[in-house]
Structure 1
Amino acid sequence: MKIKEFQRILEDKGQDFALFYNLGMEINPNMLYFSGYNGLGALIIPRKQKPFIIAPRMEVEKAKKSMIKRVYSMDKKRFFESIHTIIRKNKIKAKKIAIDNNNFTLNIYKRFKKQFKGVKTKDISLDCLKLRQIKTNKEIQIIKKAFNYGNKILNKTINNFKDFKTESDVSGFLEYETKKHGLDVAFSPIVASGSNASMPHYEPQNVKLKKGFCMMDFGVKYKGYCTDCTRTIYVGNPNNKEKTIYNFLLNVQKSIIKDIEVGDNCGKIYESCVKDLKNYSKYFIHGLGHGVGVEVHELPNLTLNSKDKITENMVFTIEPGIYLPRKFGMRIEDTVLMQRKPVILTKVPKGLL
C-alpha cells in the first residue's frame, strides 16, 4: 500500500532507502502494510527503485505471493550481511537509511550497525503511522470484510451466551469461532463479568460468570487488518438503576458518533464526551478511541489534548466507559469508517441484553 507516497517521504527526508524487518513471530506492521508479506525477512524500499523483499529460502515462495514481486533469497544466520550484499548488487546508495524505531530493537540495531558502518539512520515510524491512518479503497474493502466476520462471531457468541458457565468458556468460544473461519484474533479477547468488569483490560479467568454487567472486547484479523468491538450484556436481571446507567452511557456513545464531522479535533471530541458523561466522567478512565488498521491501535488518537483531526477514510473506535472500582464496569465500543458522515462497521446490537 502507498509505496509511491512513501517514496516521496524518503525523497523529502533525503533518505537512500527504508529498511523494515521481521525476525520473530510478531509481525512488523509496516512491513505487512507496504508489502502484504508477514513472513521472516526484510523489506527494502529504495527512494527511486522498485522495492524488494529479502527472505530465507523457506519463505521465498510465500514472499512471491505478496504485493512485492522482486524477492531475493538470503541466509538467515547472516541476516544483515545478506541484506548488505543484495543492496550493493542493486547499486543502491546506503549512506542514509530510514528505519522504524518502534519495531527496531536495541540488539538488532547493534547487529545492523556492525554491518552498515558509518551510515546515518532516521526514524520513519511516525511518517508510517500518519500514512496508514487514511485508508485506501482497497483497504476499506478488506476492513469491511473483516468486520463482517467479526460481527458474525460476536453475534453468535451473544446468541449462545446462556450455554457458557465461565469467562474462559466465552473467550474460548470467540477464539474457536475465529479459527473456524481461518482467521486470527486481533488481540486476546476480554471477557469480564461482575466486579471484574471494573478493570478495562481484565484478562478472562476460568471462573464462574458473575452476575451483573459482563463486558466482551473482541476483534479478528483478516488479511492483516484488525477489527475491534466491545459489547456489554447483563448476567441475570438488571434493576432499574443499572438499566438507567447503561442507557445513559449508550445515549452518550450514540450522540458522539452522530455528531462527528470531517475536520473535527480528536481532543475536542474526547472533551465533549467527558462533558456529556457529567457526574460519571470521573469513572471514565481511558481514551475515547483510536485508529484501527494493520494494528488494533493506530492513529488517530481520541484522547485528552490530542491534536489529530478526523479525515475522510479514517477508521477509528468510539468507546466510552464507566468503571466503578470493585463494583461494575461497562463499555460500548463501535468502530467507525469516516466518510462524509460516520459509518458504523460494528453491526452488533447495543441494547442491554
Structure 2
Amino acid sequence: MPRDEEMAFLLREIDLDRWRHQGQPSNTPVSSDSVSFHLGRRKSNSSHFLGRPDSGQVSRTTFLQGLRFCVLFGTIIGLRALLHLAWNTAYRFCTASSPSAGVNLAAVQQCTIENLQRDLSFLKGAQPITVSEFIQRQDRLAAVLYQTGIDAFIVEPGYTFQYYSNVSQQDWEPWEPEERPFLMVMQPSIHDDDTVTAKTTYLAAHFEEDRVRQLGIPSRSALDIITWEESSNPYSELLSKAFGNAKGQSVVVDEEMRDFLVRGLSSAGFKTIGLTPDIEAIRQQKTSSEMSILRAVNTGTVEAIRAMRPCLRAGLLEKDVISILNNALLSIPGFSLFFNLVLFDSNAALPHGGKATGALALTPTTVVLIDVGAHYFGYSSDITRSFIIGEPPNTLEELSADLSLKQRVFSTVLAAQTASVAHFRPGQVAANVDLAARATITRLSPAGQNWASRFTHRVGHGIGIKAHESPYLHSGNTKTLLRENMTFTSEPGIYLPRQFGVRTEDVFAVTREKNGEVVCLSGRGARSLWDP
C-alpha cells in the first residue's frame, strides 16, 4: 500500500473509531503529522508483512518493517483504549449528574427491605399445589367431558398445561416453543360404579421420552407416553394408539394451542372444537389452596409497595424505583419477578406508559403509579397503587390546586372500585362490574367534565396462574355470569392527558358471604394518596 493511501486509511480508522464511541464523526481533523511516525512501508512484492528472505535469515529491513508494524498496531490499539476511556468517563459524569445522583440508593433499598421484612405473615397458609389436587383437576375435567359428550381435551405446554400437569412452557422449552408436538391428552374413563376419572396420555418425540418422565408430572401411576419418530406423523400415531384409529373424535383445544398443531390434528381425522364455558370454569373457579396462594402473592406485592413508599426520596428516577421494588420483592422467600411498571405524573397519563419511560424524576407532589406483579408457587399477582411521597396535609383545605385535583381524582377512582366490587356475587353479569365503576366516575366528575371518558380500559379480568384470565370484566360482556370462587381484579383509573393518571387495583373473590363483605385477596385496600 503506498504511503499516502496508508496514511488516509489510518485517518479514516481513527475517525471511524470516534464515530463508534461518540455517535458521530469527529469535527476535529487528525493531523497527519501526529500519526506519520507510526507508519511503516510495505514491500509490494512481500507475500506477508513479517516475511523471511529466501536465505532463512531476517534482514534488517524486514526487522524494521516488522517493528514499524508493531508500533502502528500498538498505537491504534492505544487510541481505541483512550477513546473507550473517554467515553466511559463521559458516561459516568452524565450519570452522576442525573437527578437521582443526590439520593443514596443503597439506603433507600435497605430501608425498603427492612420495612418489608418486619412482617411476612401474608405468607402464612400458602403451600404448593399437591399432587392429589393436580389429579383432581384432571378428574373434574374428565367429568365435564363425559357430561358434554366430548372425547378428549388436548393441550400443549403453556398455562393450561401447567394448570393440569405442573409443567410450564419454560419447564419444557427454556429456549422457545418448538415445532415438535408435545401434547397432553385427557380422556374420560368411566368405571363400574359410574365414577369418571381422567385417562391422561402424553404424546412426545421418541428421543424426548426420558426427559418427559423426568419432569415430575403428577400422575396416579407411571406416565402413559405415546412416542413418535421424526420420520412419522405424530398426529396419526396419537389417533391410532389413543383412539383406536377412530376418526371423527371430538377434541377440545384452547386458545394457547398453536394453529399448526390444530391443523395437524384435523388433518389426521380429529374434530377440533374450542373451549366450552363449563371447561373454562374448572380453571376459573379456585380451590381454597389456590386462594391461599393468590392471597399471599397479591398481599405481599402490595406490602412491598407500602414498605417502599416512606423510604423514597425526591430525585429518584422511575427506573430507580423499579429496581428498588424488584429487589424488595425478591427478598420475600419464594417470590420471583413478573413485571413492574413505574410511571410518574405525565407518563402515567397513559395507562401503561408510552415508549420512553423511566427517566422522570420524583418530587414530593408527583403522582407515582405502580402496576406490578410477582409469581409465587406458580400463581400471579397483579396490583396497582397510586401515591404521593410528600407529607399528608392536616386538612384537605391546605392542599394546593394541583394536589387538590390529584386527591379528587384518587377519591373518585377509589369510589369507583368500591362500587364495582359490590357486584362480585355469584349470578351477577360480568358487564355490571364495569358499568358500576363507570357510573360512579360519571356521578363524581366535576361539573362540565366527564372523567368516565378518561377511564379508557375495562375494569378488570380473571387472575390465577396467568395474570390475565377469562372472564374479562367489560361493559360488553353481558352473557357471562360470575360463579362462586372466581377471582378477579378491579382496577378503575382516570388518566388526564399530559398531566397524570391514577389507578387502584386489587384482587377479589366471588363469594356468598352472608354479611355482604367482599373477600379481598390483596390485603387492606388503599385509603388515600398518602396511604396506599
Place the TM-score, normalised by the shorter chain, in its bin.
Answer: 0.7 to 0.9
Closer/same/farther in 2, CA of residues 195 and 337 from structure 1, 3 Å limit: same
Residue 137 (structure 1) aligned with residue 288 (structure 2): yes
Q: How does 1:56-75 map to 2 (within 5 A)?
A: 56-57=208-209, 59-60=211-212, 62-66=214-218, 69-71=221-223
> For the Cα contact (< 8 Å) 1:167–1:206, is it kept in 2?
yes
Cα distance in 2, alignment partners of residues 214 and 282 from structure 1: 22
What residue is the counterpart of 2:199 in the other structure? Answer: 50
Closer/same/farther in 2, CA of residues 174 and 97 from structure 1, 3 Å limit: farther
1:173-227 CA distance string (max 9 Å, x none): 33334444443334x2221111110111226733033552121011112222111
Closer/same/farther in 2, CA of residues 57 and 35 from structure 1, 3 Å limit: same
What residue is the counterpart of 1:297 in the other structure? Answer: 468
> For the Cα contact (< 8 Å) 1:184–1:221, is it kept in 2?
yes
Closer/same/farther in 2, CA of residues 155 and 109 from structure 1, 3 Å limit: same
Closer/same/farther in 2, CA of residues 231 and 148 from structure 1, 3 Å limit: closer
Closer/same/farther in 2, CA of residues 154 and 77 from structure 1, 3 Å limit: farther
Q: Which stretch of structure 1 is more off in the superposition, 274-283 or 83-92?
A: 83-92
Cα distance in 1, alignment partners of residues 520 and 183 from structure 2: 36
1:272-300 CA distance string (max 9 Å, x none): 22111123211111111111112111233
Q: How high is the TM-score relative to the length of structure 1? A: 0.84
Q: Which stretch of structure 1 is more off in the superposition, 120-129 or 191-200?
A: 120-129
Closer/same/farther in 2, CA of residues 82 and 101 from structure 1, 3 Å limit: same
What residue is the counterpart of 1:169 in the other structure? Answer: 320
Cα distance in 2, alignment partners of residues 310 and 123 from structure 1: 20
Gaps of 5+ in 1: 23-27
Of residues 367, 373, 380, the one that matches 1:219 is 373
Residue 208 (structure 1) aligned with residue 384 (structure 2): no
> For the Cα contact (< 8 Å) 2:387–2:529, is it kept in 1?
yes
Residue 32 (structure 1) aligned with residue 162 (structure 2): yes
Q: How does 1:1-353 map to 2 (within 5 A)?
A: 1=134, 2-22=137-157, 28-38=158-168, 39-40=171-172, 41-48=182-189, 49-54=198-203, 56-57=208-209, 59-60=211-212, 62-66=214-218, 69-71=221-223, 78=230, 81=233, 85=237, 88-89=240-241, 95=247, 96-113=249-266, 117-124=268-275, 127-162=278-313, 165-180=316-331, 181-186=333-338, 188-202=339-353, 205-211=357-363, 212-234=366-388, 239-258=403-422, 260-278=424-442, 279-307=450-478, 308-339=480-511, 340=513, 341-347=517-523, 350=526, 351-353=528-530
Cα distance in 2, alignment partners of residues 221 and 159 from structure 1: 25
Cα distance in 2, alignment partners of residues 77 and 172 from structure 1: 47
Cα distance in 2, alignment partners of residues 79 and 137 from structure 1: 46
1:342 maps to amino acid: V
Q: How high is the TM-score relative to the length of structure 2? A: 0.58
1:37-75 CA distance string (max 9 Å, x none): 223242110122521345635643553253565435677
Closer/same/farther in 2, CA of residues 177 and 73 from structure 1, 3 Å limit: farther
Cα distance in 2, alignment partners of residues 61 and 179 from structure 1: 31
RMSD across aligned positions (CA): 3.1
Q: How many residues align?
A: 345
Closer/same/farther in 2, CA of residues 138 and 147 from structure 1, 3 Å limit: same
Q: CA deviation at 1:88?
A: 4.3
Q: Which stretch of structure 1 is more off in the superposition, 336-345 or 201-210?
A: 201-210
Q: CA deviation at 1:78?
A: 3.6
1:233 maps to amino acid: F
> For the Cα contact (< 8 Å) 1:231–1:332, is it kept in 2?
yes
2:483 maps to amino acid: T
Gaps of 5+ in 2: 1-133, 173-181, 190-197, 392-401, 443-449
Q: Decide which structure has the larger Cα Rg and report it.
A: 2
2:156 maps to amino acid: Y
SS of alignment partner, residue 14 of structure 1: coil
Closer/same/farther in 2, CA of residues 299 and 124 from structure 1, 3 Å limit: closer
> For the Cα contact (< 8 Å) 1:154–1:218, is it kept in 2?
no
Q: CA deviation at 1:87?
A: 6.5
| Structure with more strand by fraction | 1
Closer/same/farther in 2, CA of residues 79 and 147 from structure 1, 3 Å limit: farther
Cα distance in 1, alignment partners of residues 269 and 334 from structure 2: 46
**Among the aligned pairs, what percent are the same residue?**
22
Cα distance in 1, alignment partners of residues 282 and 270 from structure 2: 25
By relative contact order (CA 8 Å, sep 6+), the higher-ranking structure is 1
Closer/same/farther in 2, CA of residues 281 and 206 from structure 1, 3 Å limit: closer
> For the Cα contact (< 8 Å) 1:253–1:318, is it kept in 2?
yes
Closer/same/farther in 2, CA of residues 74 and 177 from structure 1, 3 Å limit: farther
Cα distance in 2, alignment partners of residues 240 and 322 from structure 1: 15
> For the Cα contact (< 8 Å) 1:150–1:227, is it kept in 2?
yes
SS of alignment partner, residue 295 of structure 1: coil
1:286 maps to amino acid: H
